[in-house]
């Protein structure tokens, strides 16, 4: 058998990057830390009950009464279990990672929709990103960014980005050919075509991608607790390592509540854009 020593090669490459691009990783690290901490301090600034009221109001405004009631009950349950701060920390990490993933993913998706060459190069990369077991990302993340929230966020960004790229690309490609031709026949520039026709018509699909990205980010943020990202994942990890069934389930339920909250709100955004 030929031994490709693929593992060793990757290890070498990562060490080389680490040695030569410290400035880059430090920059990313500082930026992410800033954003995460900003979100955390905003979410943790008001008293718990006030924050709950704000989130319920947000849910009502975007997704209607049913989701608002669920949010109220859910957050009160979390608060009574004593996980409110951890939940907000997790939320801050999810929002930061998803935001970064979307800021990169949506433009890449638009780019892919305009060029078959780009699309065919990006596709295998996305496949790789999505199917590589999530834990594997934690290792290089730790090497580059050490322990803590930043490597957690980096791993989460990578893991949650593919749906944003894929669904943006798909949404724009699905816009009916004749509508695109119509816009061109009136003398649209590429930019006008994109902003006045393609993005508005692809919006429901793009928002479905946003929803998927946020849900994947939440699932990854919990796993990232293994490298010290903290939050609800940290509680779950403690439950596992100390075999505390109660603690594990309580923090697990908090994750589920947070997940449903995020899902319903982002879905309502998508549905809203469709009804317009």
Partner 1 sequence: MAKVRVENLYKIFGTNPRRAIPMLEEGKSKNEILDEIGCTVAVNNANLEIELGEIFVVMGLSGSGKSTLLRCVNRLIEPTDGKVYLDDDAISVLDAGEEKLREIRRSKMSMVFQHFGLLPHRTVANNVAFGLEIQGEERETRRKKAYEVIETVGLKGYEEMMTGELSGGMQQRVGLARALATDPEILLMDEAFSALDPLIRTNMQDELLELQSKVQKTIIFITHDLDEALKLGDRIAIMNQNGEIEQVGTSEEILSDPASEYVEAFVENVDRSKVITATAIMFDHPERIVNPKDGPGVAIRRMRKWGVSHLAVTDSEGKFEGFISIDDAAELQRKDTRTLEQAISESDRTISPETPVADILPLVWNSNIPVAVVNEEHEMEGIVYRPSVIAEITGEELEEEEKLDEVEEPDPQVSEKEVDNDRS
The contact set with partner 1 (CB under 8 A) reads 176, 178-179, 181-189, 192, 196-197, 200-201, 276
Q: In this structure, how many other beta carbons lie within 10 angstroms of the beta carbon of residue 233?
A: 27
Three-state DSSP state, 91: helix
Using alpha carbons, select from 103, 113, 158, 112 the residue that is nearest to residue 135: 158
Residue placing its CB nearer to partner 1 in the complex, 18 or 196? 196
Residue 193 beta carbon to partner 1: minimum distance, rounded to whole angstroms: 9
- Least distance to partner 1 from the beta carbon of 182, Å? 3
Of 23 and 186, nearer to partner 1 (C-beta) is 186
Which residue's CB is nearer to partner 1, number 5 or number 196? 196
User: Is 267 exposed, middle or buried, given 0-12, 13-18 or 19+ CB atoms closer than 10 A?
Assistant: middle
Q: How far is the CB of 119 from partner 1 (least distance, A)?
A: 20
Residue 192 or residue 219: which is nearer to partner 1 going by CB?
192
Under a CB-based contact definition with an 8 Å cutoff, are residues 144 and 157 in contact? no
**Helix, strand, coil percentages, rounded to 5, for the chain:** 90, 0, 10
Q: Which is nearer to partner 1, 138 or 183 (CB)?
A: 183
End-to-end CA distance of the chain: 61
Q: How far is Cα 231 from Cα 39, in angstroms, rounded to an integer?
A: 13
Rounded Cα–Cα distance for residues 267 and 263 (Å):
6
DSSP 226: G
User: CB 268 → partner 1: shortest distance, Å?
Assistant: 18
Q: What are phi and psi of 159, to 5 degrees?
A: -70, -35
**Cβ distance to partner 1 smaller for residue 15 or 174:** 174
Q: How far is the CB of 223 from partner 1 (least distance, A)?
A: 38
Instruction: Tell me the backbone φ, ψ of residue 29, rounded to 5 degrees.
Output: -60, -45
Please, which residue, 167 or 225, has the CB nearer to partner 1? 167
Cβ 184 to partner 1 shortest distance, Å: 6
In the complex, least distance from residue 197 CB atom to partner 1, rounded to whole angstroms: 6
Q: How far is CA 235 from CA 71, 139, 170, in A?
A: 21, 21, 38
The least distance separating partner 1 from the CB of residue 198, rounded to whole angstroms, comes to 11
Which is nearer to partner 1, 208 or 225 (by Cβ)? 208
Question: In whole angstroms, how far apart are CA 159 and each of 18, 137, 225, 229?
Answer: 21, 8, 15, 15
């Amino acid at each position: 058998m030929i031994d490709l020593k693929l593992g060793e090669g990757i290890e070498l490459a990562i060490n080389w990057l680490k040695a030569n691009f410290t400035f880059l990783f430090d920059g990313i690290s500082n930026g992410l830390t800033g954003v995460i901490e900003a979100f955390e301090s905003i979410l943790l600034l008001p008293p718990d009950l006030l924050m709950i009221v704000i989130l319920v109001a947000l849910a009502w405004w975007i997704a209607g009464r049913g989701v608002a009631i669920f949010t109220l009950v859910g957050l009160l349950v979390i608060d009574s279990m004593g996980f409110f701060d951890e939940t907000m920390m997790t939320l801050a990490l999810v929002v930061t990672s998803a935001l970064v993933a979307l800021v990169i993913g949506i433009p890449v998706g638009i780019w892919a929709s305009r060029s078959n060459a780009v699309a065919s190069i990006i596709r295998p990369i996305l496949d790789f990103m999505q199917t590589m077991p999530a834990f594997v990302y934690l290792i290089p993340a730790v090497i580059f960014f050490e322990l803590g929230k930043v490597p957690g966020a980096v791993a989460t960004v990578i893991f949650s980005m593919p749906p944003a790229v894929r669904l943006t690309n798909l949404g724009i490609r699905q816009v009916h050919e004749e509508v695109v031709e119509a816009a061109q026949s009136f003398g649209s520039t590429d930019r006008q075509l994109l902003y006045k026709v393609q993005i508005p018509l692809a919006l429901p699909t793009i928002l479905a991608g946003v929803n998927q990205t946020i849900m994947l980010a939440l699932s990854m943020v919990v796993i990232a607790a293994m490298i010290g990202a903290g939050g609800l994942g940290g509680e779950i990890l403690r439950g596992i390592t100390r075999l505390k069934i109660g603690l594990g389930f309580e923090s697990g339920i908090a994750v589920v509540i947070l997940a449903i909250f995020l899902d319903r709100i982002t879905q309502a955004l998508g549905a809203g854009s469709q009804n317009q």
